[in-house]
Amino acid sequence: MYNCIMESKQKYIYKGAVHIHTKLSDGTGDVYSVAKAAKKAGLDWIIITDHNYYDQEEGIINGVYVIKGQEISPKSCNHYIAIGLNEVIPLNDNPEVYVNEVRKKGGFGFSAHPDEGYICDNRGNIYPRKNSNHCIPWTDKNIKPDGVEIWNWFSNWADNLDDSNIFKLAYAYLFKHNIVTSPSKLTLNWWDSLNRESDKIVPAIGGVDAHALKFYRYIIPVTVFPYLTCFKTITNHIGLNEPLSKDFQTAKAQIFNALKSGQNIIMNRNTYKDLPEIYASDGENKYFCGEKIKLNKNCKLKIKAKNDMNVCLIYNGIGIEKVLSDNFEIPITQSGKYRLEISYRNKGFLYTNPFNFEE
Ligand SMILES: [Zn+2]
Ligand SMILES: [Zn+2]
């Protein structure tokens, strides 16, 4: 039988970076230099998340939608990226208090670097990272956030950093991209379990945790991981039905809605620069991840990439199909949440939010 895919729902894809610190907390750049770096890195939007601070400037700056959020940051654990608020949320020893407070105020939050400091190998063994003196995990996984930052560029680098001698330390700085490998399996498992327990999609974001820290060597400032470097790595690709509005407030709502519903593909552009074409189809329309799709006999997931990639399909949290391919199509016959993980040359590359097929 001939299936005509009409592809009537064109998607507009916009690239953005989340989890950025400026000089208003422990970063070193001001909002203008950060926006300039974002533009240079090809980003359309960014969300600035200074620690326990909210009064940054926002708007369209250097052609980039610069949005303010905050990272609710107690000293040693339970950091929470919050968006959609007009005030700073007070700290509390119990994260449940500020998770609820963010919801009550009409905002939305993502648990930040929830497994920082713990490494989970391919066999599922868990061990603390070598330089474990400064890690900030989410301590009680029974406290459920609205969403999860499944990949944090700086935490991934720090978790894999071996600073036991000067040569290993130098390697980690010079070849930083080699040790940013993939999201923690612990985090992905937690995220999957949150999605299994919820009818709605519990969305994921990827964060850069950019600070552009400055150190002084012989009075010469050396910037470690400049904003531009970070902005060319873990990127959120949101899929919209309409182009981003020229009105800042409307565009901000569009971006928030996409992040809250999971219409977002997380990808490390340093691993591979092009976003593969990834969508679900019901035989008539194309759907982005995060969208509800009514199950019928023509439903399928499709991926088109320019190179062979390792594609893993995860159904309700369980890996069900693995292929090495540049062109992949799988029929969907059962309702539930499906997501895709793609690795390229043995490195984590791309993570979709779930596609939600419903009866
Ligand atoms: Zn943090
Ligand atoms: Zn941070």
- Residue 154 alpha carbon to ligand 1 centre in Å: 10
Q: What is the DSSP string of 218-261?
A: TTEEEEES-HHHHHTSEEEEEEESSPPPSSHHHHHHHHHHHHHH
- 185-198: burial string, b at 16+ Cβ within 10 Å, e else: bbbbebbbebbeee
**pLDDT computed for residue 6 by the predictor:** 41
**pLDDT computed for residue 109 by the predictor:** 98
Distance CA 245, CA 267 (A): 24
* Ligand nearest to C-alpha 19: 2
Q: Where are the beta strands (DSSP E) in 49-97?
A: 59-61, 64-68, 70-72, 80-83
* Ligand nearest to C-alpha 113: 1
The CATH number fitting domain 12-270, selected from 3.20.20.70, 3.30.365.10, 3.20.20.140, 3.10.110.10: 3.20.20.140
* Ligand nearest to C-alpha 20: 2
- Residue 355 alpha carbon to ligand 1 centre in Å: 28
- Residue 51 alpha carbon to ligand 1 centre in Å: 8
- Residue 356 alpha carbon to ligand 1 centre in Å: 30
**pLDDT computed for residue 217 by the predictor:** 59
Domain 275-359 architecture: Sandwich (2.60)
**pLDDT computed for residue 5 by the predictor:** 40
- Residue 336 alpha carbon to ligand 2 centre in Å: 33
Pairing assessment for the beta strands 59-61 and 347-352 based on DSSP bridges? unpaired
* Ligand nearest to C-alpha 53: 2
**pLDDT computed for residue 2 by the predictor:** 38
* Ligand nearest to C-alpha 79: 1
Contact between residue 223 and residue 28 where contact means Cβ atoms under 8 Å apart: yes
Extents of the domains making up the chain: 12-270, 275-359
- Residue 49 alpha carbon to ligand 1 centre in Å: 9
**pLDDT computed for residue 256 by the predictor:** 98
**pLDDT computed for residue 119 by the predictor:** 80
- Residue 339 alpha carbon to ligand 1 centre in Å: 26
Q: For each of the chain's 359 residues, which pLDDT tens digit applies? A: 333 344 445 789 999 999 999 999 999 999 999 999 999 999 999 999 999 999 999 999 999 999 999 999 999 899 999 999 999 999 999 999 999 999 999 999 999 999 999 887 777 788 887 776 678 999 999 999 999 999 999 999 988 888 888 888 888 888 999 989 999 999 999 999 999 999 999 999 999 999 888 776 566 667 789 999 999 999 999 999 999 999 999 999 999 999 999 999 999 999 999 999 999 999 999 999 999 999 999 999 999 999 999 999 999 988 888 889 889 899 999 999 999 999 999 999 999 999 999 99
**pLDDT computed for residue 1 by the predictor:** 36
- Residue 271 alpha carbon to ligand 2 centre in Å: 22
- Residue 276 alpha carbon to ligand 1 centre in Å: 30
Q: Ion ligand 2 — residues with CB under 5 Å?
A: 71, 209
Confidence (pTM): 0.94
